[in-house]
C-alpha cells in the first residue's frame, strides 16, 4: 500500500492545488513533497535488501478484459530511483518559493510529474509503465513552454516530438509483446518477460530497436541527444532540474527493467553497438562542453557525457557495471541539481550566463563559490565525493569488457576536469568586474536548498555502501537470469 501512496498522494495534491491561492499552493506542494519523502524513507528502512523480489507490492485489477492491472512494487533497483525522486522534489519546489510569479498550476504540474516519475520506477505492468511514461512528458512540456526562455515554443516542440516519437515505438513494442503472451494475454511484467524471451532472433531485434529508441532518446544517448542542450538551456531552472536530475533516469531504468530482461538475445547481439554509441557520446559531449561560453549549456553537455558513461557501463552487462550505473544515477541527479541551481542563482543576480562576462565571484560570494567547488568536485569524480565510486565502477566494468573502450571512456575524467576547472576559473576566480562586483552571497532560502545537497555529495562519497547494498541482490538476480538465457543459446 505504501507504494501506491507514494504515487497517489502527489497526484491528489496536484489536483487540489489548482483551486488554491498561490501562497497556499506553494505551501501544500512543499508539504506534500516532504511527506512523500518521509514515506519513501520509511519504505527504505523497512526494505529487505536481501530479497530480489518485489516488495510493498500492490496489484489491483483495472482493465481486466485486456489483462491490465494497477500493479506496482519496489525492488532494489526501483528503491534507489524512488529515493532520488523524493529527495530532490522538495528542493525543486523550495527553489521556486521566492518567485511570486509562479501560479498554482506550476506547482500542480511539478507534483503531477512526481507522481508519474514514481509510477515509472515502480510499475509492474507494461501498460501502466507506458501510461506513467507518457504522463511524465506532459507536465515538463508545459513547464518549459509556459515558463521557459527565448524561443521556448520551437525548442519545446522539438523536445515533445522527439520524446513522443520514441514513446510510440515503445508502445508498438509493448503491444506486440502483449499479443505474444499465451492465453487471454496480459501486460504483467513477468508475462512480457516470458513472451519476449520466446521470440525468434529477428523478432527480438525488432523489439530491441523499438524499446531502445524510446530509452535512448530519453537519456539521451548519441546521436539521439540533439533536443537536450536547447531544452535544458531554455527551460526554467525547475524544469531543467526535473529533466536532468530525474527524468533522464527513466531511460536508463527502462534499459535495466524492460530492455535487458525482455529481449536478452537481442541485447547480447546489439548491445555492443549501443555501447559504442554511448562512448562516442562521452567524448563528443565533453569536447563541446569545453568550448561552451554559456554556463547552463556547458552543464547540459556535461550531463550528456555523464549519461553516456552510465549507459556504456550498464551495457557491459556485468554486476560491476550495473551497480556503477545505479550509484552514478543517484550521484548525477544530486550533482546536476546543485549545478543548475547555482547557474540560476548567478543568472538571477547578474542577468548573464556568459562565462566571459563573469569572474571574481568567490571574492563577493564565498559561500556560493564553496558550494560550487563541492558540486564541481562531485562532477569530476574526486575521491570522497559521490561521483567517484560510480565512475570508478563504470570505468572498471568497461576496462574488463575491453581495455581500449575503458581507456577511451576514461577520458571523461580528464575532459570533465578540463571544462569544470575552466568554468571555475572563468566564473569564480580572478577579479570582480562591473557584472559581478555587486553580486550577493547565498541567502537563507538558497542555503536551505543547497547545503543538504552538498552534504549528500560528501556522505555518499565517504560511505556509499548502504546504497550499493540496496540494489546489489536485485542487480545480481537480473544479470544471472540474463546470463543463463544467453548461455543456453550459442
The average pLDDT across 272-298 equals: 91
- 489 has a pLDDT exceeding 80: no
- 486 has a pLDDT exceeding 70: no
Q: State the burial class of residue 438 (Cβ atoms within 10 Å of its Cβ: 0-12, 13-18, 19+).
A: exposed
Whole-number average pLDDT of the chain: 89
Calculate what percentage of the chain has a pLDDT beyond 90.
Answer: 46
Q: Which residues contact 208 (CB under 8 A, 6 or more apart)?
A: 259, 263, 266, 267, 270
The average pLDDT across 30-39 equals: 94
Q: State the burial class of residue 19 (Cβ atoms within 10 Å of its Cβ: 0-12, 13-18, 19+).
A: exposed
The pLDDT, as a whole number, for residue 436 is 82
> pLDDT per residue over 351-375, tens digit each?
888 888 888 888 888 899 999 999 9
The pLDDT, as a whole number, for residue 122 is 94
Cell triple for residue 33? 513533497
> pLDDT per residue over 409-425, tens digit each?
888 888 999 999 999 99
| CA–CA distances in Å: residue 482 to residues 100, 240, 257, 278, 395 | 51, 35, 12, 21, 22
The pLDDT, as a whole number, for residue 488 is 60
The pLDDT, as a whole number, for residue 182 is 84
> pLDDT per residue over 87-118, tens digit each?
999 999 998 877 766 788 889 999 999 999 99
Provide the whole-model pTM: 0.93
The pLDDT, as a whole number, for residue 66 is 85
- For the chain, give every domain's residue range: 269-490
Max mean pLDDT range (134-138, 179-183, 228-232): 134-138
What is the four-CA torsion angle of 238, 242, 244, 249, rounded to 10 degrees?
A: 170
Do residues 266 and 484 lie in contact, with contact meaning Cβ atoms separated by under 8 Å?
no
- pLDDT tier at 223 (50, 70, 90 boundaries)? confident
Angle, nearest 10°, between helix axes 104-122 and 2-17?
Answer: 160
Please give, one letter per residue, the 3-state secondary structure of the chain.
CHHHHHHHHHHHHHHHHCCCCHHHHHHHHHHHHHHHHHHHHHHHHHCCCCCCCCEEEEEEEEEHHHCEEEEEEECHHHHHHHHHHHHHHHHHHHCCCCCCCCCHHHHHHHHHHHHHHHHHHHECEHHHHHHHHHHHHHHHHHHHHHHCCCCHHHHHHHHHHHHHHHHHHHHHHHHHHHCCCCCCCCCEHHHHHHHHHCCCHHHHHHHHHHHHHHHHHHCCCCCCCCCHHHHHHHCCHHHHHHHHHHHCHHHHHHHHHHHCCCCHHHHHHHHHHHHHHHHHHHHHHHHHHHCCCEHHHHHHHHHHHHHHHHHHHHCCCCHHHHHHHHHHHHHHHHHHHHHHHHHHHHHHHHCCCEHHHCCCHHHHCHHHHHHHHHHHHHHCCCCCCHHHHHHHHHHHHHHHHCHHHHHHHCHHHHHHHHHHHHHHHHHCCCCCCCCCCCCCCCCHHHHHHHHHHHHHHHHHHHCCHHHHHHHHHHHHHHHHHHHHHHHHCC
Q: State the burial class of residue 128 (Cβ atoms within 10 Å of its Cβ: 0-12, 13-18, 19+).
A: buried
Calculate what percentage of the chain has a pLDDT beyond 70.
Answer: 98
The pLDDT, as a whole number, for residue 157 is 87
Q: Which residues contact 300 (CB under 8 A, 6 or more apart)?
A: 228, 229, 232, 233, 244
The pLDDT, as a whole number, for residue 487 is 62
The average pLDDT across 137-158 equals: 85
- Cα 83 to the chain's mean position, in Å? 12
The average pLDDT across 456-472 equals: 90
The average pLDDT across 446-467 equals: 91
The pLDDT, as a whole number, for residue 283 is 92
Q: Which residues contact 365 (CB under 8 A, 6 or more apart)?
A: 439, 440, 441, 442
The pLDDT, as a whole number, for residue 197 is 86
Amino acid at each position: 500500500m505504501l507504494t501506491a501512496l507514494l504515487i497517489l498522494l502527489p497526484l491528489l495534491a496536484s489536483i487540489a492545488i489548482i483551486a488554491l491561492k498561490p501562497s497556499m499552493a506553494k505551501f501544500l506542494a512543499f508539504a506534500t513533497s516532504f511527506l512523500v519523502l518521509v514515506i519513501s524513507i520509511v519504505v527504505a528502512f523497512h526494505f529487505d535488501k536481501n530479497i530480489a523480489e518485489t516488495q510493498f507490492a500492490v496489484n489491483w485489477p483495472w482493465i481486466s478484459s485486456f489483462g491490465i492491472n494497477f500493479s506496482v512494487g519496489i525492488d532494489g533497483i526501483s528503491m534507489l530511483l524512488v529515493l532520488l525522486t523524493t529527495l530532490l522534489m522538495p528542493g525543486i519546489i523550495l527553489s521556486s518559493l521566492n518567485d511570486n510569479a509562479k501560479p498554482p498550476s506550476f506547482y500542480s504540474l511539478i507534483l503531477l510529474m512526481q507522481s508519474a516519475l514514481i509510477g515509472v520506477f515502480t510499475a509492474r505492468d507494461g501498460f501502466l509503465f507506458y501510461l506513467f511514461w507518457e504522463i511524465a512528458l506532459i507536465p515538463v512540456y508545459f513547464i518549459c513552454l509556459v515558463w521557459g526562455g527565448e524561443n521556448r515554443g520551437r525548442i519545446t516542440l522539438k523536445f515533445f516530438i522527439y520524446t513522443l516519437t520514441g514513446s510510440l515505438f515503445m508502445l508498438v513494442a509493448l503491444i506486440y509483446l502483449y499479443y505474444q503472451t499465451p492465453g487471454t494475454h496480459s501486460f504483467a511484467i513477468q508475462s512480457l518477460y516470458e513472451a519476449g524471451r520466446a521470440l525468434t532472433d529477428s523478432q527480438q531485434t525488432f523489439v530491441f530497436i523499438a524499446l531502445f529508441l524510446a530509452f535512448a532518446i530519453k537519456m539521451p544517448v548519441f546521436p539521439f541527444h540533439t533536443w537536450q542542450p536547447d531544452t535544458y538551456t531554455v527551460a526554467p531552472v525547475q524544469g531543467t532540474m526535473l529533466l536532468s536530475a530525474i527524468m533522464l533516469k527513466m531511460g536508463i531504468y527502462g534499459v535495466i527493467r524492460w530492455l535487458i530482461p525482455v529481449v536478452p538475445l537481442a541485447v547480447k547481439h546489439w548491445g555492443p553497438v549501443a555501447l559504442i554509441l554511448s562512448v562516442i557520446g562521452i567524448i563528443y559531449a565533453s569536447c563541446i562542453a569545453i568550448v561552451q561560453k554559456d554556463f547552463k549549456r556547458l552543464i547540459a553537455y556535461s550531463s550528456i557525457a555523464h549519461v553516456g558513461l552510465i549507459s556504456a557501463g550498464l551495457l557491459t552487462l556485468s554486476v560491476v557495471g550495473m551497480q556503477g550505473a545505479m550509484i552514478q544515477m543517484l550521484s548525477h541527479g544530486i550533482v546536476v541539481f546543485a549545478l543548475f541551481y547555482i547557474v540560476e542563482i548567478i543568472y538571477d543576480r547578474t542577468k548573464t550566463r556568459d562565462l566571459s562576462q563573469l569572474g571574481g565571484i568567490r571574492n563577493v560570494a564565498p559561500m556560493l563559490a564553496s558550494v560550487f567547488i563541492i558540486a564541481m568536485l562531485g562532477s569530476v569524480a574526486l575521491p570522497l565525493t559521490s561521483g567517484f565510486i560510480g565512475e570508478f565502477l563504470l570505468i572498471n566494468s568497461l576496462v574488463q569488457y575491453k581495455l581500449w573502450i575503458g581507456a577511451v571512456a576514461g577520458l571523461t575524467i580528464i575532459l570533465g576536469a578540463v571544462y569544470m576547472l575552466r568554468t571555475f576559473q572563468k566564473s569564480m576566480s580572478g577579479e570582480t568586474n562591473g557584472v559581478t562586483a555587486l553580486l550577493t552571497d547565498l541567502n537563507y532560502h538558497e542555503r536551505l536548498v543547497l547545503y543538504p545537497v552538498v552534504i549528500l555529495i560528501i556522505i555518499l562519497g565517504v560511505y556509499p555502501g548502504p546504497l550499493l547494498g540496496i540494489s546489489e541482490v536485485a542487480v545480481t538476480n537480473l544479470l544471472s537470469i540474463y546470463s543463463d538465457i544467453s548461455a543456453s543459446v550459442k
